[in-house]
Amino acid sequence: MNSDNITLQTKHTLPILYWDRFSDRLSAGVTTRQKGSSARPYDSLNLGTHVGDASTAVTKNYQILAEELQCNVNDFVTTKQVHETTIMQADKMINDEEADGLWTDKHDSVIGMVFADCIPLVFYAPEAHRAAVLHAGWRGTVAGIGSKLLERWAQDDVSQTEVYAFIGPGICRSCYQVNEDVVAQVPKALRRQTVTSLENDQYLLDLPTLNKELLVEAGMRKDHIDTTTYCTKCDSEFFFSYRGSQRTGRHMAFAKLCTKGG
Ligand SMILES: [Zn+2]
């Protein structure tokens, strides 16, 4: 079941899986693939700029999303994602630098990461009024990209216990078959909850649950973490899936701070 704060809804023109726990202070969620302008196999709201889609279509899709989020198309800050754990403070100058995480405390940018099966992690710290978006595939997950963000924020006295997170739609346990090399990097104490053995040294890995358990291990409260049951491969009508088809588009997890309200 989706957490109460997670709803697929159209606020203006586009269906979006919104994280509405702090809706007056933070606009955050994950886009779907619907109502965009890209042709197959990128149909239709592809926000990936390096996947082979026509750049005119991708540009149009960013305009469509900007309308939905009521921002300017130049407000998006994205990176070149490389499955590592570099997290940068968002700043317009860093577009297309290599990083798998962005955070901000400014209102004038929309930070975004793009996905097709990897797990989006969106964070918000209400006291400090700062947000982050991370890209967690299995490599970033086992390398602890989530705890790296929490450690970085702790340097500014943002305690892990006051941070909230949304673990967005990614590939589900039933769809994510991996080999022994991957499982060997999952912390032993978490394997019982997150790994299922199949035949021939193949396994199923529950990447969303692994991320949740790692965030709790890093000091977050369980009741501060919202989750979704959408799977990018099972729910192909809504999301892009690399395991479903290697030539495909990307949806985006985004966060935009609203002017700090009273
Ligand atoms: Zn699935």
**Is residue 171 in a domain?**
yes
Count of the separate structural domains present in the chain: 1
Residue 70 pLDDT? 93
**Cα dihedral 78/114/204/221 (nearest 10):** 60
- Max Cα–Cα distance, the chain, nearest Å: 58
Q: How far is the CA of 199 from the centre of ligand 1 (A)?
A: 19
Ligand 1 center–CA 1 separation, angstroms:
14
Predicted confidence band of residue 215 (pLDDT cuts 50, 70, 90): very high
Q: Give per-residue pLDDT as tens, 132-157.
A: 999 999 999 999 999 999 999 999 99
Mean of the pLDDT values across residues 4-22? 95
Question: What domain range is 170 assigned to?
Answer: 6-257
- Model confidence at 260, pLDDT cuts 50, 70, 90, reads low
- Tokens 């586009």, residue? 14
224 CA to centre of ligand 1 in angstroms: 24
In a domain, 49, yes or no: yes
CA–centroid distance, residue 161 to ligand 1 (Å) = 31
- How much distance in Å is there from the Cα of 45 to the middle of ligand 1? 20
Ligand 1 center from residue 246 Cα (angstroms): 16
Q: Is the pLDDT of residue 261 over 60?
A: no
> Which pLDDT value is given to residue 259?
82
Question: Which one, of 202, 198, 158, lies nearest residue 178 by Cα?
Answer: 202
Distance CA 188, CA 49 (A): 37
How close is the Cα of 87 to the center of ligand 1, in Å? 28
For ligand 1, the distance from its centroid to the CA atom of residue 231, given in whole angstroms, is: 5
Using one digit for the tens of pLDDT, what is the confidence trace for 166-209?
Answer: 999 999 999 999 999 999 999 999 999 999 999 999 999 999 99
Ligand 1 centroid distance, CA of 76 (Å):
29
The pairing of strands 15-19 and 26-31 is antiparallel
For residue 91, how far is its CA from the centre of ligand 1 (angstroms)? 35
pTM over 0.95: yes
What is the pLDDT at residue 96? 77
Q: Output the pLDDT for position 91.
A: 76
pLDDT at 262: 40
Gap from CA of 239 to ligand 1 centroid (Å): 11
Within a domain: 1:
no
* Inside any domain, residue 262: no
What integer is the mean pLDDT of 86-103? 88
List the CATH number of the domain containing 13: 3.60.140.10
CA distance 228 to 20: 13
